[in-house]
Amino acid sequence: MTALLELRDVEARYGQVKALHGVSLAVDEGRIVAVLGANGAGKTTTLRAISNTVRRSGEVRFAGRPLGRRGPDGVARLGIAHVPEGRGTFAELTVWENLRLGAYTRRGSLGADRERVLSYFPWLAERRHQEAGTLSGGEQQMLALARAFMQRPRLLLLDEPSLGLAPVLVTEIFRIIRELNEQEGLTVLVVEQNAHLALQVAHSAYVLEVGRVALSGPSAELRAHESVRRSYLGY
Amino acid sequence: MTLRRLLPGLSASLAGAVVLALLPFALSEFHTALAAQVGIFFVAVLGLNILTGYSGQISIGHGAFMAIGGYTTAILSRDHHTNLVLTMLAAFAICFVFGLLLGLPALRLSGVYLALATFALAVSVPQVALKFDRFLGGSNGVQSRETVSHTWLYGASWTAAAVLFVVAWLLLRGRVGRAFRAIRDSEVAAVSAGIALPIYKTLAFGISAAYAGVAGSLFVMGTNGFAQPNEFDVVLSLQLLVGAAVAGLGSLWGIPVGAAFVALLPTISKDVPLLGSAHGQDVVFGLLVVLVMLLLPQGFAGFLRTLTRLRPRAGEGT
Amino acid sequence: MSTVAATQQNRPLRLALRPVNLVLVAAAVFLLVGCLRSEIFAQQTVAGLAQGAVYGSLALALVLIYRATEVINFAQGELAMATTYIAFQLIEWGVPYWAAFFATLAIAFVLGTAIELLAIRPVQHKSVIAVVIVTVGLFVLIDGLVTWKWGGDIKFMPAPFGQEVYHWGGVAISRQDIGTLILCVVTVLGLWVLFRFTKLGLGMRAAALRPAASALVGVRVDRMLAIGWGLAAVLGAVAGLMTEANQFILQPSLMQAVLLYAFAAAVLGGLESPAGAVVGGLLLGVFLNLVGQYVHFVTAQLRLPFAFAVLLAVLLVKPSGLFGKRTVRKV
């Protein structure tokens, strides 16, 4: 079975500085895969390489076909939703406009999608006309998830969803991610510094070090792995 | 700075100086006059570059300072029979003060707002000159007491250009220049490095205005000593900006090219055959401005930079 | 979370009490009272509103482009003038006025997007100054092309609304002024509907605000910019055609003064604010007329410098314009 997403020997650079030195990974449909690693390991760059917001070489295949030279908007149209670092919130627009933008690539009416989104994030209804920038950090993160969900993507790329959030909110967000995966069959590639939480939610994971894949495997295996425990889980 | 790094610039300047000194002997009167115009624009564009390229404050109003300098020369010459070279010094000083004065409110504005405020200034100048006609002569302008030959103007403008170029070079490689560049790149960072923004920003305005004033002074001498409002309209300010951009902001070495571009092109485009009328000149000039910017967005200096980057450096392995 | 919601509820009230809005209300009251008390005042106000509607339309075009591309388009006025000449040519060829009008709007849209594609896009990401200079070059180029093709002499176009003047309670109001006001209002409203309620408009707003985030949700940012330039050109065409109708004559210098007033109006309103540009234009038009009528120091020559003096005064108090958002620069 071909994976939904496949990276083969992907290199990426920021100007003259190379950030990825040949990363290969695969994400099967319907799974949650985590990308772990320290700061600067290249986790965010990996996601950027997929949505082509960084100069990359090597092959990225989605549903068996190479992404080629498609820009980020082309990648989005294929059914990949990328929630970047900083959440990509349109702070000056309202909550509802943010959600409408999430559905930008979709045709037809948004009624059914709106219902589904509200079933996961009921509090969005009363905040519809609020400026998105006035939401708290946790609310913005959930808005970002809701926006990505409005796109009805096949693959969700999440960059550090826990960043800057209180633990209680982080747990909530990961609960929603797992629910979206189980109920809607959403495939998720999540980059996380919080290895503990990520390994609880993800089915498998890759550990990046200095722009290369150092380890990979099912979450249970990695959790038990000596160096992972020492470097990322703290025990 | 080592002599080696200075060498290309130094040799270019010396070569340029030699060429300039010998040029009048080879050129006709008409062409000498044109060359003098290039010298005048050289001074003005240099001044604008100090403000916009080095300290990062955009001005689309430097024609106003040229006007002040030009009228200073004309009035001093007409009313006080002042020696023309002295009037240039007076123009420098007066415009320096005006520049400082303008720099103060400019501290409150940034980016495009500053650009439009200076633009407003440029637009208003001819009208103001027309309104206050008792002192400034209205539409009749002000006529200086003496006129000069093309060769004299050539000598004066290029001497001024050379002197002011050296002054600028010294200024910009020293502490003042570093402060300017720091301000241009990031005001916040500059302040945290202890640079007093108000002082340096107004200083930049003062210096660049003074340069424009000298250029204006020479400009009036070039129009038979006659200072007139519509010589200093908004188009002049736009020409200066175009010249600075074509030269390449933030560098001194492209300025001759920028100055030549705006001083010579309108005249040259008049001779372009295909379009016939005088309006063909606008088409050609406009088209060339667009094309030059599309091809060389960083100006001539940027082009030079790319050239030096492409040349392989000695002593580096593959 | 509850405190945020609470502040949100107070928002309408806080919005109403903002100093800018109070100033506007005061101005409106002043104008109303003046109109009721003096016929000349009323006449100048109406004429000023019509003139201001034109300034506001062109100012809106400038703001649209500034928000999308972060540059001031110096060629906006000349492009508006050129499209007016195109309308003139169509009419010369026998096309009825209003058919030519709408055809010109369509042509203007195409020209605007073409300019963005050919002259702006290549340098857009390289250097802001380069883009500004390109627009300056276009200014000269378009002016030259028009003068070359049609000559610099005066031309005449039919009056779109007729020459009638209505008398209403002693106040003389021309049909032309009413027509200009209605046309500009309709155009601006149309754009407002586009931006607020359509997917395309949302995409354009998003692309102007946050291009990177927009690309990630599938917005074709480059295409949005081109469309923005096209719409700005359409606004310019309306402004140009109405200016010609107001002045009765057509010549290459048609829009040069209007462009300058439009700059003033755009900055007055705050370059980021479309509403500000329109309001700024109306205010400018009305007050310049009134000042010209009642303040004798400000002669016709000084009208433009006076407008800019007012503008500079406003900027010194509120550096980001009347409706501009205050960016905190603690330096």
Give the mean model confidence (pLDDT) for residues B282-309: 88
How far does C178 lie from chain B, in Å, by closest CA?
30
A23-45, pLDDT tens digit by residue? 999 999 999 999 998 888 889 99
Average pLDDT (B103-131) is 82
Q: What is the pLDDT of residues B235-278, one digit of tens each?
A: 899 899 999 999 998 888 899 999 999 998 877 766 666 555 55
Computed over every residue of chain C, the mean pLDDT equals 87
pLDDT at B152: 87
- Whether A92 has its CB under 8 Å from any CB of chain C: the answer is yes
The type of residue at C177 is: D
User: Could you give the CA distance from residue A187 to residue C231 in angstroms, rounded to a whole number?
Assistant: 40
Mean pLDDT of all residues in C300-313:
81
pLDDT value for B58: 87
Contacts of A74 (CB under 8 A, 6+ apart): A52
Count of CB atoms situated within 10 Å of the CB of B140: 11
C293 falls in which pLDDT band (50, 70, 90)? Answer: confident
**Are C219 and A101 within 8 A, CB to CB?**
yes
State which amino acid sits at residue C142. I
Cα three-residue angle A97-C117-B290, rounded to 5 degrees? 130
**Chain B residues close to C308, C-beta within 8 Å:** 120-121, 123-124
Report pLDDT digits (tens) over A175-225: 999 999 998 889 999 999 888 889 999 999 999 988 999 889 999 888 888
CA C3, chain centre distance (Å) = 40
Instruction: Give me the residue label for tokens 């409150």.
Output: B108
Residue bearing tokens 């176009």: C157
Chains B, C: CB pairs < 8 Å: 135
State which amino acid sits at residue C154.
I
For residue B281, pLDDT beyond 90: no
Is residue B74 scored above 80 in pLDDT? Answer: yes
Question: In the A/C pair of chains, how many CB contacts fall below 8 A?
Answer: 72
Residue A144 · residue A88 · CB < 8 Å: yes
Give yes or no for residue B314 having a pLDDT over 60: no
pLDDT at B33 over 50: yes
Q: CA B77, CA B69: separation in Å to the nearest integer? A: 12
> Largest Cα–Cα distance of chain C, in whole Å?
67
Task: Give me A23's structure tokens.
Answer: 């990363």
Report the relative pairing of strands A155-159 and A80-83 from DSSP bridges. Answer: parallel
First to last CA, chain A: 36
User: Residue C180: what are its φ and ψ, rounded to 5°?
Assistant: -60, -50
Comparing alpha-carbon positions, the chain C residue that sits nearest to B249 is C129
Chain C from 258 to 277: CB within 8 A of any B CB: 260, 263-264, 267, 271
CA of C122 vs chain A CAs: smallest distance (Å): 17
Residue of C68, C87, C66 whose CA lies nearest to C76: C66
Q: Does the structure show a pLDDT above 60 at C41?
A: yes
What number is the average pLDDT over the span A144-159?
A: 93
Q: Give the whole-number percent of chain C exceeding pLDDT 70.
A: 93
pLDDT of residue B18: 84
**Mean pLDDT value of segment B21-34:** 82
Within an 8 Å CB–CB cutoff, is residue C126 touching chain B? yes
pLDDT of residue C3: 46
With a cut of 80, say whether residue B318 has pLDDT above it: no
Sign of the CA dihedral running A119, A121, A123, A129:
negative
Residue B313 has pLDDT above 70, yes or no: no
B17-25 long-range CB contacts below 8 Å, 24 or more apart?
B17/B162, B20/B158, B20/B162, B23/B154, B24/B151, B24/B154, B24/B155
Contact C216 A72 (CB under 8 A): yes
Residue B47's pLDDT band, with cuts at 50, 70 and 90, is: very high
Angle separating helix axes A137-150 and A95-102, nearest 10 degrees: 40
Tokens of B201: 């920003």
- Please tell me the distance from the alpha carbon of residue A43 to that of residue C280, in angstroms, as a whole number: 48
The answer on pLDDT for C331 being more than 50 is: no
Q: How far is CA C46 from CA A173, C29, C49, C173, C303, in A?
A: 58, 15, 5, 7, 18
Partner-chain contact C218 A105, CB within 8 Å: yes
The amino acid at residue B105 is P
Given a cut of 70, whether residue B191 has pLDDT beyond it is yes
| C66 and chain B in contact, CB less than 8 A | yes
Torsion B76-B79-B80-B84 (CA) sign = positive
**ipTM summary value:** 0.91
Strand, helix or coil at A66? strand
Q: E strands within B51-171?
A: 142-143
What is the nearest CA distance from C247 to chain B, expressed in angstroms? 21
Distance, CA of C295 to CA of B129 (rounded, Å): 20
Using DSSP bridges, classify how beta strands A80-83 and B142-143 pair: parallel, antiparallel or unpaired. unpaired
* Res C16 pLDDT > 70: no
* SS3 of residue B303 by DSSP: helix
| Closest Cα in chain C to B105 | C316
Query: What is the pLDDT, as a whole number, of residue C10?
Result: 55
First vs last C-alpha separation in chain C: 32
The span from the CA of C244 to the CA of C253, in Å, is 11
Q: Tell me, what's the pLDDT at B196?
A: 87
